[in-house]
Structures are given as structure tokens and as C-alpha cells.
Amino acid sequence: MSQAIRLTNEVVEGVMRAIVENDPAVRDNGALGLQYLAAILGVLAVDYPGDDDECRELLDHLAAFSRHVFEDQRKARAQRAQPAAGPAVPRGRCIPDPDNPALGVWKVERD
């Protein structure tokens, strides 16, 4: 199971669209949609070649993989929600120029 997958928004939306077509209540209940996905996983895992222990190990691996994707997506969303860090604003003050009140000299304050 080391083959890379291509999970796009289109794939996710297509799968969810098919589930909503089957059960419109999923549109208003995200947890119900997740239950459908988990049930589908269980149905498909029955056909996985191997004995019961190997199938359970596969399901454990897939649960861990789901958790990893969840954490990765949560971190990515949090980073997108944070404002971009701009350059550090220097601390200091402007001392007016006595010869021209519209001008001043910036004096950096040191800690």
C-alpha cells in the first residue's frame, strides 16, 4: 500500500455527491456522510485477500492513514487561516526635525 494516491477536490466532491444522491439527509449531516464512507470501507475490505487478522490489520492501517490525512488537512487549513507574516516592524519613535515640522528622524529603540 505504498502507491501514491491523487486525492483532489473533484474526487471528494464526486464521492459525496453520489452519497447525497443515495441519501439526501447527508447534505445536512456530515457525520452521516462519514458513516457511509466508513461502511463502504468495511464492505470493500471484505474482499481484501487474506485471513481475518490481515483484514483487521488493513483496517487499522487505513484508520491510521485517515487520521494522518485529517491532521495534515487540519494543519494546512490553520496555516491558510493565519495572516501572512510580514516583515518585523521595528520599534522606535520619530523625533521631529526642528527646522521642518513635516519631517522627522526615526530612532530605533533597542531592548
Higher pLDDT, 1 or 24: 24
Q: What is the mean pLDDT of residues 16-24?
A: 97
Q: Tell me how far CA of residue 98 lies from CA of 105, 107, 109, in angstroms.
A: 10, 15, 21
Question: What are the distances in angstroms from CA 109 to CA 55, 77, 82, 87?
Answer: 65, 36, 28, 17
Radius of gyration of the chain measured on its C-alpha atoms:
27
Which helix (H) or strand (E) element contains residue 95? strand 92-97
Q: Give the tens place of pLDDT for each residue, 31-44.
A: 999 999 999 999 99
Residue ranges of the domains in the chain? 9-81
Query: Is there a contact between 97 and 104 (Cβ–Cβ < 8 Å)?
Result: yes
pLDDT in tens, 64-94: 999 999 999 999 888 888 776 666 666 666 6
